[in-house]
Amino acid sequence: MTRRDAARNWQRIVDTGRTFVSEQRPLRLNDVAHEASVGVATVYRHFPTSEALLETLAHPSLEDLIAYAERALRDDDAWLAFVGFLTAGINAQLTDGALQPVFAAAGYELPKTAELVGHLEALAADLLDRVRTAGLIRPGVEHTDVVRLMCGVVFAASVHATPAERATLTRRYLDLVLDGLHAGNGNRSRSCSG
């Protein structure tokens, strides 16, 4: 098999895996192989586990969030940068079904995933430090609090809601959480998408 064939098969597997995730179907490698019209051994050669495939699917969104956070850290308005990053993170989780399970995983199959998540968490902590230093967030709010609250917003907007309702509910719940986090009067805590 040539490199070009291997690259084509890899892309076919990734595209098929993305379809499975977007349709909320279980990501079983044998099923992915069948639907991608490649051999099962080919799939396992590229992705030894379904977690490795899922992490690969999440990499572009993780890279986009890292780029967003890096830009946000250059923003003069610490609160709007923080809010914008949280909004981008939630929107990414709603549009990319691979992100939530990767964020929730206890460990990672691929070193690149651990590197991307670690970098993203460091940037998020820097954004939180900026609003803390500026006195714009309630005292005592930690990075883990923010992470859990954002997961809660995504969950709350997803459970018992139709896909069409999720974006509106997410903005509503995020605004409520931001109002609670903001140390001021709450008039600047609106999400960037609402």
Residues 6 or more apart whose CB falls under 8 angstroms from that of 165 comprise: 157
Residue 188 clears pLDDT 70, i.e. is over it: no
pLDDT for 194 beyond 50 = no
| 101 pLDDT higher than 60 | yes
Predicted pLDDT at 167 = 83
- pLDDT of res. 32: 97
The pLDDT of residue 187 is above 50: no
CATH number at residue 113: 1.10.357.10
pLDDT: which is higher, 75 or 3: 75
User: pLDDT by residue (tens digit) across 108-142?
Assistant: 999 999 999 999 999 999 999 999 999 999 989 99
Total structural domains within the chain? 2
Q: Does pLDDT of 4 surpass 90?
A: no
Same domain membership, residue 71 and residue 29: no
pLDDT of residue 190: 52
Q: What is the mean pLDDT of residues 67-91?
A: 95
Which two three-digit tokens encode residue 134?
């500026």
pLDDT at 2 over 70: yes
On whether both 128 and 185 belong to a single domain, the answer is yes
**Which of 8-22, 104-118, 165-179 has the lowest average pLDDT?**
165-179
| φ, ψ for residue 127, nearest 5 deg | -65, -40
* Residue 110 near residue 52, CB atoms below 8 Å: yes
Q: Is the pLDDT of residue 1 over 70?
A: no
164 vs 71, more confident: 71
CATH number, residue 25? 1.10.10
Beta-carbon contacts of residue 127 (< 8 Å; ≥ 6 apart): 69, 72, 73, 78, 81, 82, 85
- Segments forming the whole domain that contains residue 34: 1-48
What phi, psi does 182 have (nearest 5°)? -65, 135
Per the prediction, the chain carries an average pLDDT of: 91
For residues 119 and 18, give the distance between their C-alpha atoms in angstroms, rounded to a whole number.
24
Q: Give the pLDDT confidence score for residue 159 in this predicted structure.
A: 84
Is the same domain home to 38 and 9?
A: yes
Are 5 and 29 in the same domain? yes
**23 with 63, same domain?**
no
Q: How confident is the model at residue 158 (pLDDT cuts 50, 70, 90)?
A: confident
Q: Judge if 10 and 96 occupy the same domain.
A: no
Same domain, 94 and 18: no
Report the 10 Å Cβ neighbour count for 108. 17
